[in-house]
Chain A
Amino acid sequence: MRTAAPALALALVALLGLGFQLQLPRAFPSDADYRAVAEALARARAPGDVVFLHPWWTERARLFVPADLPVVGYLGHTSDDLVDHPRIWVLANEHLPRTPDADFRRNFLPDRTPAGESRQFGPLTLAPYRNGRARKVLLSAIDAFDRLEVSVEGPGVSPQPCQRAGGRVRCPFDASIEIAWHEVLYQPVRCLFILPPSGGRTLSIRLPDSPAAETLLLESGITWEHAWLAGRTDVQLTLESSAGALHLRIPGAHEGLVRGETPAVSAGPWTLRLSTTSTQDRQICVRLRALGGSP
């Protein structure tokens, strides 16, 4: 063989590889870049703001962002409506290789509009967005936890009330409710963490005094790795309010939150009923909020 082409091809590929490695560190923000971002956020922040990481895994930002400012970064977060947050600070690093921009454009950008100038901090871009999917949160079941009336109902048996013990509500038939952080399909969710009652009984959660709202948003899912397991039972949820009954079902091997909304409700009580025929691996995260219009 009298051609130098293979050698040149090998050398070219090697040099491209080397070049990639040499330029890669330019995509990495320094601690000073992150601190500058944190200072900018501290100055400009308003109640209800949230920081949104792009790509989702760039969580080193958590080390620097003000501790009381929520940071959202999980696989699938571009589809999160972030209804609690009228303004979203997108902290992006588009210099990183294979940044999933198409996913960002397809799932995040709809209904979100720039709400100011973006600023550059090294390779980081900080840009505020008005969140068109935000709603006024009139009430969250988590905030009303102390007022919830919880009992277990069974066929032909009068409701058996549950007892409060510290931050937890303990019920007959191994059921309980508490407020806790859990993961539902990679999403960290602060929710009503519910262990349903055994024997196919129904857990009843009643709030006696809810405000009028445009809708009640009910979201529910199985936590962590218990979700995908085959052969597990469905969970049935029914939300009764002045708007009627909203039925939701978490299928046996479903991962992620299932969602449902009621029509407008007037002020008054609502009751959430939850049951499953087998409690094995059915650890449930429930988020229930009364929503108004745009904030």
Chain B
Amino acid sequence: MSRAPTVLDRRIALGLWLVAFVVLWATERAVGFVRDESVYFAAAEQFARWWALLFHQPAAALSDRVIVQAFDFNHEHPMLMKSLFGWSYSLFHQTLGWVRPAAGFRLPAFAVAALIPAILHLWGSALWGRRVGLFAALCFFVVPRHFFHAHLACFDMPVAAMWLLVVYLFWRAEEDLRFAPWTGVAFGLALATKHNAFFLPVVLTPFGVLAAWRASGENGRRVLVHMAETVVAFLAYLALLVVVKGRDGLVQSWQLLSPQTFGVTALVVALAALALRLRRLEPAAFVRLAPLVAMGLLGPVIFYVHWPYLWHHPVDRIAWYFDFHATHVHYAWTYFNDVLRAPPFPLPYVFVVTAMTLPVSLLLPMGVGLARTGLRNLGDLVPALGRRFGRGGATEWLLGVNALFSILLISLPGVPHFGGVKHWLPSMPFLALLAGREFDRASAGLSSALGLTARRSIAASVGLGAIVLLPALTMTIHVHPYGTSAYGELAGGIPGAASLGLQRQYWSNNVTGVLPWINAHSRSGTRLWLHEVNGLSFRDYQRNDMLRRDVIPTGGPEDADLAAVQYHQEFREQEVLVWQAFGTWVPATGLYLDETPQVVVYRRPTP
């Protein structure tokens, strides 16, 4: 079976991309600016100015001093998406004036997020049929939290899209050598999107190496063994350097001419030489390894080239970048009435939150699909299981591993657990694909049991699909634009989650629910405290005409006339301080989603 999609499926994928893009654009206006997003807006504007300077005064723009001025802000994340946000803002808002500022920044995010349903269709239809592709695409997109995150000019949904793209291209390249360089390019773009992508080689290397091993004769396997020996030698060398220099010393003493550079160069040169030798000796085996080679060669280059901040001081700035994420601060997070503040975090957390936030009609096929894949993959190892459930094979292993990898990674008790589902989003498209297969099996079974004709079978599939997707769709429509508050039926919806003691919301964007009231009940010069809304977001609400421009932000309730408090379990003190400052515990209004307090507004009584 060819892995290439048919012409019709390509057109369907393009249509899915277009529909997703338009839907996201059409529904973005109501979505508030999450805390990080306004930081990225500001960074994107700054970077766009640098690109303009590069065009007009390249010599000045390329100096490290100017680069640092432009890129030091928010250098904890790479540049790809922020550059796209900035260029889009410059073109569509500043130059053409077609869209409001926020939409200008967000358009690239829509475009990248819309890749997910398109790729899911391409992959699903090639693997198991058109019905699978369509269901997978829709079932990913209609999950309330996915739909919400797809709107944001942030990196969580883009890196999920990039992750899916890299793995899809890797899968295609295993069959068709022409896709290998594109896999490398996509990996570079993924690295340039968010640090999750650094785990992609960990996931994909075993698949590439094993496939190459199977396709190799004796000579090829000897080369592969040499490659493994080279990697082991490098790791031993690295360990020696750590022992001699220490972890900090290893980073701080890394210069152009240093043992560290020698080690990395030797590794790259040796592996490249061995890859070329493999190509000469065993072309079929090289095809399997080629996407990894391309990732190894192109990924780091693209990552380095795309980020001017790295150009003059690559080692120490990359080292800082890794260190920042390796030692990321832990934000408070409520889980079954416990406020989690520091590791170790509960092992089942990610699985529980996933189950609680997914609509149950999608959780079921995703869960069954994952279980079936697990059993089929085990069937490759245990013949009895293979006879009962069938055997997985390389592709199903690839899907299963990717469906679980990010979930398991974030499940580690020492990894930061804040942020709802966004940190394990890269797993979700793969779960959607597996859900697509379950839907296909169910549809096929229904048609077969009822003896339906092909035409009626399609109608039955559409009907069943509509029934299965409808709860998610209604939930998404109901909760939009407050996606961080969404909970599925297992949790008992939003009120059930409140009683269970799950995180009510995060990222402060729900404040949009009270802005119309604030606009109507403020006068020029009203002093307004928007709890948890940072100064950049405050400015963005004003410049996007969501908050009147004549109100003045304050840093707390003491000097405020109006205060809007975000309901977080760890911030109860903030609301009580408003009682103290305003002399009342009676709110003026609030955003109460399905009865649950999300944002509570107080007005200082007039004397």
Contacts from A to B (Cβ < 8 Å): 1-11, 13-18, 20-21, 24, 27-29, 55, 57-60, 62-63, 65, 67, 70-71, 74-75, 93, 96-100, 180-183, 186, 188, 223-225, 228
The answer, among A11, A60, A93, for a CB contact under 8 Å with B592, is A60
> What string of 1s and 0s marks CB contacts (under 8 Å) between B125-153 and chain A?
00000000000000000000000000000
Please determine whether A98 and B500 come into contact, CB atoms closer than 8 angstroms. yes
Please determine whether B597 and A60 come into contact, CB atoms closer than 8 angstroms. yes
Q: Which B residues lie within 8 Å of A96 (CB)?
A: 492, 495-496, 499, 595
Please determine whether B446 and A14 come into contact, CB atoms closer than 8 angstroms. no
Please determine whether B594 and A180 come into contact, CB atoms closer than 8 angstroms. no
Q: Which A residues lie within 8 Å of B597 (CB)?
A: 57, 59-60
Tell me which residues from 352 to 397 in chain B have a Cβ below 8 Å from any Cβ of chain A: 359-361, 364-365
Q: Which A residues lie within 8 Å of B470 (CB)?
A: 14, 18
Tell me how many residues of B have a C-beta within 8 Å of chain A: 60
Q: Which B residues lie within 8 Å of A8 (CB)?
A: 446
A180 to B468, CA, bound (A): 53
Q: Which A residues lie within 8 Å of B216 (CB)?
A: none
> What string of 1s and 0s marks CB contacts (under 8 Å) between B444-460 and chain A?
11101110000000000
Among A8, A14, A18, A182: residue with most chain B CB under 10 A: A14
- What are 20 A-B contacts with C-beta separation under 8 Å? A2-B449, A4-B450, A5-B445, A7-B443, A10-B439, A14-B361, A17-B488, A55-B498, A59-B600, A63-B586, A63-B587, A75-B569, A96-B496, A96-B595, A100-B499, A181-B580, A188-B575, A188-B576, A188-B585, A224-B573
Please determine whether A21 and B449 come into contact, CB atoms closer than 8 angstroms. no
Name the residue on A nearest B339 (C-beta).
A228
Segment of B166-174, B471-479, B530-538 engaged in the interface with chain A: B471-479
Among A7, A67, A181: residue with most chain B CB under 10 A: A7
Q: A24-B493, A98-B492 are in contact. Are A18 and B464 (CB under 8 A)?
A: no
The answer, among B442, B569, B586, for a CB contact under 8 Å with A67, is B586
> What string of 1s and 0s marks CB contacts (under 8 Å) between B493-511 and chain A?
1011011110000000000
**A237 vs chain B, min Cβ distance (A):** 22
A11 to B360, CA, bound (A): 11
Please determine whether B596 and A57 come into contact, CB atoms closer than 8 angstroms. yes
Please determine whether B468 and A57 come into contact, CB atoms closer than 8 angstroms. no
A22 to B318, CA, bound (A): 51
A181 to B557, CA, bound (A): 13
Please determine whether B499 and A55 come into contact, CB atoms closer than 8 angstroms. yes
Q: Which A residues lie within 8 Å of B359 (CB)?
A: 17
Please determine whether B445 and A6 come into contact, CB atoms closer than 8 angstroms. yes
Q: Which B residues lie within 8 Å of A181 (CB)?
A: 576-577, 579-580
A17 to B360, CA, bound (A): 7
Please determine whether A28 and B594 come into contact, CB atoms closer than 8 angstroms. yes
Query: Knowing that A10-B365, A10-B464, A57-B596 are A-B contacts, what are 20 other residue pairs whose CB atoms are under 8 Å apart, sorted by A's residue number?
Result: A2-B449, A4-B446, A6-B438, A6-B441, A7-B464, A10-B438, A10-B442, A14-B469, A16-B360, A18-B474, A28-B594, A29-B595, A57-B499, A60-B597, A63-B590, A71-B585, A98-B491, A98-B495, A188-B576, A188-B579
Q: Which 8 A-B pairs give the minimum distances between C-beta atoms?
A: A97-B492, A224-B573, A17-B471, A97-B496, A14-B361, A7-B446, A6-B442, A4-B449
Name the residue on B nearest A25 (C-beta).
B594
Judged by a CB distance under 8 angstroms, whether B523 is at the interface is: no
A29 to B495, CA, bound (A): 13
Name the residue on B nearest A95 (C-beta).
B495
A3 to B443, CA, bound (A): 10
The answer, among A2, A70, A98, for a CB contact under 8 Å with B445, is A2
Q: A59-B597, A181-B576 are in contact. Are A99 and B445 (CB under 8 A)?
A: no
Judged by a CB distance under 8 angstroms, whether B489 is at the interface is: yes
Contacts from B to A (Cβ < 8 Å): 332, 337, 341, 359-361, 364-365, 438-439, 441-446, 448-450, 464, 467-471, 474-475, 478, 488-489, 491-493, 495-496, 498-501, 569-570, 572-573, 575-577, 579-580, 584-587, 589-590, 592, 594-597, 600
A10 to B444, CA, bound (A): 13
A183 to B597, CA, bound (A): 18
A65 to B592, CA, bound (A): 16
Please determine whether A1 and B572 come into contact, CB atoms closer than 8 angstroms. no
Please determine whether A75 and B584 come into contact, CB atoms closer than 8 angstroms. no
Please determine whether B600 and A13 come into contact, CB atoms closer than 8 angstroms. no
**A81 vs chain B, min Cβ distance (A):** 20
Please determine whether A14 and B570 come into contact, CB atoms closer than 8 angstroms. no
Q: Which A residues lie within 8 Å of B495 (CB)?
A: 24, 27, 96-98
Name the residue on B nearest A181 (C-beta).
B580
Please determine whether A15 and B467 come into contact, CB atoms closer than 8 angstroms. yes
Q: Which B residues lie within 8 Å of A15 (CB)?
A: 467
Q: A7-B442, A57-B596, A225-B570 are in contact. Are A14 and B493 (CB under 8 A)?
A: no
Q: A4-B445, A75-B569 are in contact. Are A14 and B467 (CB under 8 A)?
A: yes
Among A20, A29, A93: residue with most chain B CB under 10 A: A20
**B445 vs chain A, min Cβ distance (A):** 4
Please determine whether A10 and B595 come into contact, CB atoms closer than 8 angstroms. no
Name the residue on B nearest A68 (C-beta).
B586
Q: Which B residues lie within 8 Å of A100 (CB)?
A: 499
A97 to B577, CA, bound (A): 31
**B480 vs chain A, min Cβ distance (A):** 14
A13 to B467, CA, bound (A): 10
A24 to B493, CA, bound (A): 8
The answer, among B445, B576, B584, for a CB contact under 8 Å with A3, is B445
**B146 vs chain A, min Cβ distance (A):** 17
Please determine whether B569 and A21 come into contact, CB atoms closer than 8 angstroms. no
Q: A57-B597, A62-B585 are in contact. Are A74 and B572 (CB under 8 A)?
A: yes
Q: Which B residues lie within 8 Å of A98 (CB)?
A: 491-492, 495-496, 499-500
Name the residue on B nearest A182 (C-beta).
B576
The answer, among B361, B569, B573, B595, for a CB contact under 8 Å with A182, is B573
Name the residue on B nearest A101 (C-beta).
B499
Name the residue on A nearest B493 (C-beta).
A24
Q: Which B residues lie within 8 Å of A228 (CB)?
A: 341
The answer, among B442, B478, B572, for a CB contact under 8 Å with A186, is B572
**B333 vs chain A, min Cβ distance (A):** 13
